[in-house]
Amino acid sequence: MTQDQAIALSQNRLSISGEVTTETHAYVSSAIWNLLIRGSPPITIYITSKGGNVTAGLDIFDLLRFYVGHKIGIVNGIANSISGVILQACDWRTATPHSRILVHHITSTAFRLDVARDPMMLADYINSMEADQKKLDEILVNRTGRSHEEIRKMCELDCQLPVGDALSLGLLDQVIVKEEDIRDPSRV
C-alpha cells in the first residue's frame, strides 16, 4: 500500500484507479482487512479505471460485498469493463456528470495459438469465458433489475455509457457534482 493509499484509508477511503490487476486485489484486500479490524466503518470507494483482469475484479467485487460496512462508490472519469462491475458491489453508486461506464462481453488478451489449433482446448477456453461472462451478467441482472436478455444486449453495444444512460439503466443510483451532493438514503 502506498503512502497516499494509507492516508486515504485512514479516512475510510479507497481508490481503484488504472488497470485492475492482482496488485489491485492485494491492495483492496489489505484495506478491507484494516477496515474490519477497525469495526467496519462506512467507506467511500473512488473508481477511475479502464478495467482489467476479470478474476482479480471478481475477487475485489466479492471482498467489497463481504464487507459489512456501508459502501459508497464514486466514479470520476471512467468505470470500464470489470471496474464497472466492481462499482456494483457498492451500496450506493454515484458518478460525476462527465463520467462514463462501460459494460461489455469479456475479452481476453491471453489467447494462444496452441489453444486455437486444438479443438478441445478451444472448447475449454470458450467454456471458461462463458462461465465468467455468466457471473458478470448475474451481478448486473441483480443490481440493475434488468433481464438477462437486456443485460446481454447492453453488453453487445460495447460502448461507454454517459451517466444519464447508466442511471436510467440501473448501473448508478445518482449523478453528483461534488461529494456533498450524495443523497444516499442510508446516510439520512
Residue pLDDT, tens place only, 101-135: 999 888 877 777 887 788 888 889 889 889 999 99
Write the pLDDT tens digit of every residue in 132-175.
999 999 999 999 999 999 999 888 888 889 999 999 999 999 99
Which residues have a catalytic role annotated? Answer: 81, 104
pLDDT at site 158: 83
pLDDT at site 114: 83
Q: Which CATH architecture has domain 3-178?
A: Alpha-Beta Complex (3.90)
pTM assigned to the model: 0.92
Q: How far apart are CA 96 and CA 131, in angstroms?
A: 32
Write the pLDDT tens digit of every residue in 43-55.
999 999 999 999 9
